[in-house]
Amino acid sequence: MPSKGYSVGESVMVKWPGSALWYPAVIMSIEDDEYKVRFEEGTEDEVTAESIRSAASFRRRSQSKSPSRRRSRSRSPARSPSRQRVSRSPGRKTPAKKQTIISQSKSETKVQLTPTRSKRLLATRSTTEVHTYTTRSSTKLGHQILEPVVDIKTGKVPKTVHYEFGGPFGAFFIMVSLPLFIYYLYFTCSKEECSLQLWPAHTCDWRDYFDLEAALLFLGWMGLQAFFYLLPIGSVVKGLPLRNGQRLDYKLNGFFSFILTLILFGGLLYKKYPVAMVYDKFLPLLTTAFIFSIVLSIFLYIKARRAPGHALAPSGNSGNFLYDFFMGHELNPRIGNFDFKVFCELRPGLIGWVMIDLAFVVKVWTDFPENPPWALLLVTFFQMLYVADSLLFEHAILSTMDIIHDGFGFMLVFGDLVWVPFTYTLQARYLADRPSLAVMPDYCLVIVLAFGLIGYYIFRASNSQKNAFRENPYASQFASANVLITASGKRLLVSGWWGWVRHPNYLGDILLALSWSMCCGFGSIIPYFYPIYMLVLLVHRERRDSDHCRQKYGNVWNKYCAQVPYRIIPYVY
């Protein structure tokens, strides 16, 4: 039983948050039921009385001959060099090859494994078993960087028991409604009219929806981007550890592909190739992309059924075909070094988005050469900046939820190849359809430009701050920052952008999205679809992320939420 009445300065044993391990610590201060304690190796934390025992009770137990004696001794910090200790003493160098496993599931046996030995063990054990350890490595500058805690789990990925997106029914609804919605958006915001209509005028001739030229153009585009991806140019980096401890190699040459594509676009323009045909073939291009996304998703699902159990996605392994098809059954589907998810996430859709915008600019500017389409140029500039940023910081995608958590199925395939290029171009299409529309005096566009740049600044600065913190939480720029230390040793930044709101990057994204729509003036709500959608998407994403963080960090995450109460918009939400 926890004995209350501890005093400041007293040496006690404290249960490490989120674990079953007890360590010697000293009580620093007491406030209500909160005890601030300092562990022997210097880590400070706040715990409740339930996590404190008197040091004497531990000594007594270790002398007893009860069966529990062995268990308590095997967990004693003095006998097992702790993961937390390895990860929390920034100054101490731990050779990367001597990683120490400190907690094992039921067996309770204390072992020290080098990575080679751990691999051997993993190869010979078939049941699910969990090992946890933290690795360190050195940067080129000689700094120690903390790598994520690795949960090595052998055996199959457990079944998905918690449904997201409303389960199989929700998945089915989304799969049917989203494509219909994109067509609806196309017809409800046409050249003639752009307003919410219940049943907008639309064509019923299938040849308007599909033609061979558009199909070949789309397939050529996919082939071109795949070719650029495979070029032996760009750095190769390791992804985050998978559940079996493996780290996949990723080639990062997205920005290079973007520049090559722009040069190619310029060359085609110079050669007077009719790039503006993209404007006329928007509908058949959309249909081809949609059909392609279905075919690719089916292929990925079939491939996933043959994938090893440990390679499946934890979120798409329910056993329900519809749900797994939607969520993605395999986490990182690959053929050789060709990673389908990373390829689709950043290249054909994102770069395609900019290319469609540019084709619209060419269309309008060639039709009305004496009248530069400033608003359309501004939208294109903003969106190019956004895409260039994603590609320049391509490595950041490797730690996103999409890559480390979500499988690659219809949800992401459709999102990457259809949703992004054919809905995110809505503002540009609205302006291209109305070349003579004066949405606002040109000087007002300067205000929109400033608004968008502020959004971009918040977006970029906050993302960069978190990336820098994740890379090296001991960097001098974080010397005086407030941080919270989680049980796994990972830290949460509670200063700067991340002490202002819990997702400053989402706020920047929303402001940026709003500025794109403002380029279209205020004549119709439809061009504002994107910021409204982003708001809904990011609010939902923030909640999903918060749930994941609560699972990962437990009470420390709750503490972070208490210290930074607003999720995205300061003083509002």
State the residues that interact with ligand NDP by CB under 6 A.
400-401, 459, 463, 466, 469-470, 490, 492-493, 498, 503, 505-506, 509, 541, 545, 548-549
Q: Measured from the CB of residue 202, what is the shortest distance to ligand NDP in angstroms?
A: 27
N-term to C-term CA, the chain: 41
Task: Give the residue with the Cβ less far from ligand NDP, 284 or 415.
Answer: 415
Task: Give the residue with the Cβ less far from ligand NDP, 429 or 490.
Answer: 490
CA dihedral 462, 415, 557, 238 (to 10 degrees): -70
Question: Tokens in use for 204?
Answer: 């019923």
Task: Give the residue with the Cβ less far from ligand NDP, 156 or 541.
Answer: 541
Q: Measured from the CB of residue 457, what is the shortest distance to ligand NDP in angstroms?
A: 13
Q: Strand 103-104 to strand 52-54: parallel, antiparallel, or no bridges (unpaired)?
A: unpaired
Non-local CB neighbours of 572 within 8 Å, separated by 6+ positions: 566
DSSP output for 314-348: TTS-SS-HHHHHHH-SBSS-EETTEEHHHHHHHTH
Q: Measured from the CB of residue 392, what is the shortest distance to ligand NDP in angstroms?
A: 13
Sign of the C-alpha dihedral, residues 39, 45, 46, 52? negative
How far is 29 from 505, CA to CA, in rounded Å? 36
Q: Measured from the CB of residue 121, what is the shortest distance to ligand NDP in angstroms?
A: 26
Task: Give the residue with the Cβ less far from ligand NDP, 156 or 544.
Answer: 544
Q: Measured from the CB of residue 518, what is the shortest distance to ligand NDP in angstroms?
A: 17
Q: Specify the DSSP class assigned to residue 99.
A: -
Q: Measured from the CB of residue 492, what is the shortest distance to ligand NDP in angstroms?
A: 4
Burial class of residue 83 in the structure, from the number of CB atoms within 10 Å of its CB (0-12 exposed, 13-18 middle, 19+ buried) = buried
Task: Give the residue with the Cβ less far from ligand NDP, 136 or 202.
Answer: 136
Closest CA to 222 of 309, 314, 338: 338
Task: Give the residue with the Cβ less far from ligand NDP, 294 or 484.
Answer: 484
Q: Measured from the CB of residue 145, what is the shortest distance to ligand NDP in angstroms?
A: 14
How far is 55 from 65, CA to CA, in rounded Å? 18
Q: How many CA atoms lie within 13 A of 383 on its CB side?
A: 29
Task: Give the residue with the Cβ less far from ligand NDP, 447 or 536.
Answer: 536
How far is 311 from 155, CA to CA, in rounded Å? 10
Q: Measured from the CB of residue 316, what is the shortest distance to ligand NDP in angstroms?
A: 18
Task: Give the residue with the Cβ less far from ligand NDP, 76 or 482.
Answer: 482
Contact status, residue 565 vs residue 573, Cβ threshold 8 Å: no
